[in-house]
């Protein structure tokens, strides 16, 4: 039965070597790197990697890396189906929850919800909302607004009569500002942590 | 451009210093009553009310414009302020939120230019020279766009000065406050300086102002009319720098490096009530010493000089200063020296109200030169002890691990002075937050 070759670990060793030296290793260097006693043992994995397109042999018999190894950030698309890919490569293309939830960090604030007027929109008392200041709300946005001196969180809307605020709870009715309306911010995300 | 600055009756005054408007364009952005404005932005119910911060110190750190209108100023005692303004809202300082807002203010400034200097928590400089083409706007419009972005996104106001040098723009931002915008173009410098008293010039302290007034000078314009040789002789290099800066030649660079202490680090704490207890006073002094060294290590510095001062109940102060044979990075290296100095200063039976520690001769601790008879192993052990102390305190809270003398501090007080009521943010932790670790996003207090 042919010996199994751990290609993923060989690849990360080769990438590290290229990163360090800027060139492809010789057969004897690879033997040392892979922990083989003889140069001869290297031919197996090398032939496999050539077949997979990670290495190519040059006219002078030396080995050269292809872009699959030299590319600065390994492209995830080039990994062939069923081929184990080292987990750390995938980490290069992730966003943190912070980045996912906050698009304008300078203008974003936390607010704890205490009322129930938006409960049908899935925002309950005790939830945290991420509020963005400084933008202009579009109809349908959930806004934090001060209406005739009272702070509230509602859907923002506009019609011929002007601006109105709609709750997401049948207990409450649509409100229109009598004297003043100022928008404190637009709700961009809701966070609820179960403990 | 001249519409922004009108100086009636001065049009036939002195000749302009230059004819161009903005060969350099440097902005100074200055927060208006920054600490209280942050409080009012986060707690809308405080808007329009007289608010001050500094409850934990008993002295006003910042007064809102509503409080200033009632005569309450920075630096006066809370007791006096409450007499002037009985409905005053007094808040403990929430430095965590203030620095979050400060960071955001500088981030907004960096949208317009990478050359931003964070001069202090609430003011900064920005060099926008050459940015007209990038934004297809005039310098005045760029400055006002920056100001508007800060107003809208942070909900607090700043005053902005635009001119040819840091000194000029700093005076300009102070010219109209709050919410002011004062551009001073090259061809208007001479008019502007004529309206600026010497004391308002950045870098001219009371002593220098007195000296200049002896020579009959009144305004910044009088100052720049002096011959340079004369200024150089009287006030030396700093005076000459101010002279150039005021004439519109920028010689002070906009320093984009992160702030780090250059001259000294000082830690001073007033006791909650004056004390004559020798061990307690000494423990307070050593605690200040530890705090100063924690700050020193945070900036990777070492200190070559140690000063210690004790303040008596009647505000008289006495102090001592010592040069250290070897620059120190931990409190334990110098605690015996500090204790010796305390021994000399302390008058038995006298009642004290505060202790101060100042670390001087500060230099970078990145490189280290060993003395001839020094034991490098010992120095390395001290360095590792310092970082171990910092690691433990970072995980478990400041002053979790401390020198033994600290045991004489009142139990549980941890340097508290009785007024140490937590700020709103600390009193309203979210699920999973601790006293030491909180989400780095400011929290609004609005009931919705």
Q: Which two tokens mark B440?
A: 């780095």
Tell me, what's the ipTM? 0.72
Contact list in B for residue A193 (CB cut-off 8 A) is: 431-432
Q: Is B427 on the interface with A (CB under 8 A)?
A: no
Whether residue A15 contacts residue A69, with contact meaning beta carbons closer than 8 Å, is answered with yes
Catalytic residue of the set B39, B117, B118, B123:
B123
Rounded to the nearest integer, the mean pLDDT of chain A is 84
List helix spans (H) across chain A.
Answer: 7-21, 27-34, 43-52, 67-70, 87-91, 97-101
Q: What are phi and psi of A119, to 5 degrees?
A: -70, -30
Q: Who's near B162: CB < 8 A, 6+ residues apart?
A: B22, B25, B26, B27, B139, B140, B143, B169, B172, B181, B182, B183, B184
Residue B447 at interface with chain A, using a CB cutoff of 8 Å: yes
User: A7-91 belongs to which CATH class?
Assistant: mainly alpha
A106/B108 touch (CB, cutoff 8 Å), yes or no: yes
Nearest-angstrom CA–CA distance, B290 and B329: 10
pLDDT at A44 over 90: no
pLDDT tens for chain B, 448 residues long, are 444 555 544 445 678 888 889 999 999 999 999 999 999 999 999 999 999 998 887 889 999 999 999 999 998 989 999 999 999 999 999 988 999 999 999 999 999 999 999 999 999 999 999 999 999 999 999 999 999 999 999 999 999 999 999 999 999 999 999 999 999 999 999 999 999 999 999 999 889 999 999 999 999 999 999 999 999 999 999 999 999 999 999 999 998 876 656 678 888 888 878 888 999 999 999 999 999 998 888 888 889 999 999 988 887 888 899 999 888 889 988 999 999 999 999 999 889 988 999 998 888 877 767 777 777 888 888 888 888 888 888 877 778 888 888 888 765 444 444 456 788 988 899 888 887 778 999 999 998 8
Q: Which CATH superfamily is domain A99-191 in?
A: Umud Fragment, subunit A (2.10.109.10)
Residue B203 phi/psi, 5° resolution? 105, -15
Domains in chain B: ranges and CATH: 265-408 (3.30.1490.100)
Nearest-CA residue of chain B relative to A104? B153
Please say if A171 is a catalytic residue: no
Cα separation, A23 vs B333, whole angstroms: 51
Residue B411, chain A, CB below 8 Å: the answer is no
For residue B442, the chain A residues in CB contact (below 8 A) are 109-110
**What are the domain boundaries of chain A?**
7-91, 99-191
Crossing angle, helix A7-21 and helix A27-34, to 10 degrees? 120
Whether chain B has a CB inside 8 Å of the CB on A134: the answer is yes
Contact residues for B12 (Cβ-Cβ < 8 A; gap 6+): none
Does A96 qualify as catalytic in the annotation? no
Determine how β-strand A108-112 pairs with β-strand B443-444.
parallel
- Nearest chain B CA: its distance from A106 CA (Å): 5
Tell me how close the Cα of B61 comes to any Cα of chain A, in angstroms.
Answer: 25
Any A CB within 8 A of B107 CB: yes
More confident: A54 or A157: A157
């Amino acid at each position: 039965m042919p010996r199994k070759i751990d290609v993923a670990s060989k690849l990360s060793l080769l990438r590290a070597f290229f990163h360090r030296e800027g060139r492809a290793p010789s057969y004897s260097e690879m033997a040392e790197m892979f922990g083989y006693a003889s140069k001869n043992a290297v031919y197996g994995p090398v032939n496999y990697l050539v077949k997979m397109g990670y290495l190519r042999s040059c006219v002078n018999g030396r080995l050269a890396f292809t872009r699959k190894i030299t590319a600065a950030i390994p492209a995830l698309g080039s990994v062939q189906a069923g081929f184990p890919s080292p987990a750390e490569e995938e980490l290069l293309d992730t966003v943190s929850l912070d980045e996912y939830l906050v698009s304008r960090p300078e203008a974003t604030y936390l607010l704890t919800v205490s009322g129930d007027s938006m409960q049908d929109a899935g925002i309950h008392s005790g939830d945290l909302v991420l509020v963005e200041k400084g933008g202009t709300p579009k109809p349908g946005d959930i806004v934090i607004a001060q209406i005739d001196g009272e702070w509230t969180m509602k859907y923002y809307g506009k019609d011929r009569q002007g601006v109105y605020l709609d709750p997401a709870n049948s207990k409450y009715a649509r409100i229109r500002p009598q004297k003043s309306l100022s928008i404190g911010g637009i709700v961009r995300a809701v966070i609820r942590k179960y403990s | 451009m001249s519409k922004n600055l009108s100086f009636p009756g001065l049009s036939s005054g002195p000749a302009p210093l230059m004819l161009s408007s903005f060969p350099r364009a440097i902005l100074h952005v200055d927060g208006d009553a920054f600490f209280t404005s942050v409080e009012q932005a986060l707690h809308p119910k405080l808007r329009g009310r007289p608010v001050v911060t500094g409850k934990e110190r008993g002295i006003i750190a910042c007064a809102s414009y509503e409080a200033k209108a009632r005569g309450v100023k920075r630096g006066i005692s809370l007791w006096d302020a409450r007499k002037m303004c009985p409905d005053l809202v007094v808040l403990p300082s929430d430095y965590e939120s203030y620095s979050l807002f400060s960071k955001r203010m500088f981030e907004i400034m960096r949208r317009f230019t990478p050359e931003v200097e964070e001069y202090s928590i609430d003011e900064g400089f920005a060099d926008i020279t050459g940015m007209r083409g990038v934004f297809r706007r005039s310098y005045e419009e760029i400055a006002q766009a920056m100001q508007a972005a800060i107003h809208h996104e942070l909900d607090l106001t700043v005053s902005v000065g635009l001119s040819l040098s840091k000194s000029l723009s700093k005076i300009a931002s102070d010219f109209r406050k709050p919410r002011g915008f004062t551009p001073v173009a090259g061809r208007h410098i001479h008019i502007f300086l004529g309206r600026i008293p010497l004391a308002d010039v950045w870098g001219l302290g009371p002593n220098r102002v007195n000296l200049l007034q002896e020579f009959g000078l009144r305004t910044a314009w009088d100052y720049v009319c002096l011959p340079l040789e004369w200024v150089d002789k009287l006030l030396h290099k700093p005076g000459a720098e101010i002279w150039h800066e005021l004439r519109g030649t920028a010689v002070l660079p906009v320093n984009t490096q992160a702030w780090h202490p250059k001259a000294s680090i000082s830690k001073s704490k007033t006791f909650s009530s004056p004390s004559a207890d020798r061990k307690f006073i000494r423990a307070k002094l050593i605690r200040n010493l530890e705090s100063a060294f924690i700050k020193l290590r945070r900036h990777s510095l070492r200190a070559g000089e140690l000063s210690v001062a004790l303040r008596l109940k009647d505000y008289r102060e006495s102090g001592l200063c010592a040069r250290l044979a070897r620059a120190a990075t931990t409190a334990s290296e110098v605690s015996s020296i500090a204790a010796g100095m305390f021994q000399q200063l302390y008058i038995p039976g006298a009642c004290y109200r505060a202790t101060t520690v100042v670390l001087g001769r500060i230099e970078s601790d990145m490189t280290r030169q060993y003395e001839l008879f020094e034991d490098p192993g010992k120095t390395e052990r001290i360095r590792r002890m310092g970082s171990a102390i910092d690691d433990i305190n970072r995980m478990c809270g400041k002053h979790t691990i401390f020198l033994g003398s600290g045991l004489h501090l009142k139990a549980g007080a941890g340097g508290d002075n009785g007024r140490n009521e937590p700020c709103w943010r600390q009193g309203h932790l979210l699920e999973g937050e601790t006293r030491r670790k909180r989400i780095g996003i400011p929290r609004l207090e609005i009931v919705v």
